[in-house]
Amino acid sequence: MKNMYRGLTILELLVIVTVIAILASVSFITYNGVQRRASESVVLAALKQSAESLNVFYSRNNDYPPNLAGTDYIPPEGAVLTLYTNAPTVRVHSSLNTAQNAQLFINACNANMPVVSGSTTYNTVCYYDGSNIHIKGEGSSGVSFSGPNISESDIALNCGAACNSATGAIKSAFTAQGGTYPITVPNGVVPIPDPELSDPGSATDFCLESRSTKHPDVVYHTIHNEDKIEMLEGACPANPQLHYP
């Protein structure tokens, strides 16, 4: 009687290993696809809800406020927002609490993302990571600023000239709006209040951008449209009339 419990041949083992590898690869691709679609849903929801908040604010004030200031909108975890407007003056805050001050820095940081030089993307998105501020990057260009208290000298990107320029632009946009150091990292995202200017002039046009912190290439935008909120794939297009802050 033949032995029914003979060992597997090398060929049979290779077939089994190959099948397992294929199944693992398919599962990984499927998982990544599910994660990406989830990120896309969060980004789109944040964009739609924040645009609705902007429209409500405009109907009451005839103005689109930089940083969504005064709308009380807080984006969900996993999405960051950047608002570009045609505001004639920079709105300055003089009495931000520590959480609002940190949020102003995050907004200024994301307004200067992504950091690109030639065909290389170095940094993509800024967000809170526990008690730290993290700037996601490709390869070794990602950085974390250890909190909860972060000084101006702590803030630096590390990819050379392009990152030096971005670092300067982030700091300038932050302090120009009344941001101060040190930055104390809060427990989470907070809304920014109205600035204290009595007559800042009105912003009548905007582009609002929503980007994923998990998949920074998942980004959508919407532009000023009184009839409807149309969400378009990609970052805000270049428009010399719109700016941050």
Q: Does some domain include residue 228?
A: yes
Q: Specify if 31 maps to a domain.
A: no
| Distance in angstroms (rounded) separating the CA atoms of residues 125 and 134 | 8
- Cβ contacts of residue 119 below 8 Å, gap of 6+? none
In a domain, 70, yes or no: yes
Q: Let me know: does 179 contact 105? Beta carbons within 8 Å.
A: yes
Q: Is 238 among the domain residues? A: no
- The helix/strand/coil state of 214 is coil
Burial 149-176 (b: 16+ CB within 10 A, else e): ebeeeebebebeebbeebbebbbebbbe
Asked whether residue 168 is assigned to any structural domain, the reply reads: yes
Q: How many domains are contained in the chain?
A: 1
pLDDT in tens, 198-241: 567 899 999 999 999 999 899 999 998 777 889 999 999 999 99
Query: How sure is the predictor about 8, in pLDDT bands with cuts at 50, 70 and 90?
Result: low
What are the beta bridge partners of residue 145? Answer: 133
Amino acid at 119: S
Of the two residues 10 and 24, the one the predictor is more confident about is 10
- Give the range of the structural domain holding residue 187, as residue numbers without chain letter: 43-233
In a domain, 127, yes or no: yes
Q: What is the pTM of this model?
A: 0.85
Please determine, for residue 79, whether its predicted confidence score (pLDDT) is greater than 70: yes
Does the pLDDT of residue 4 top 60, yes or no?
no
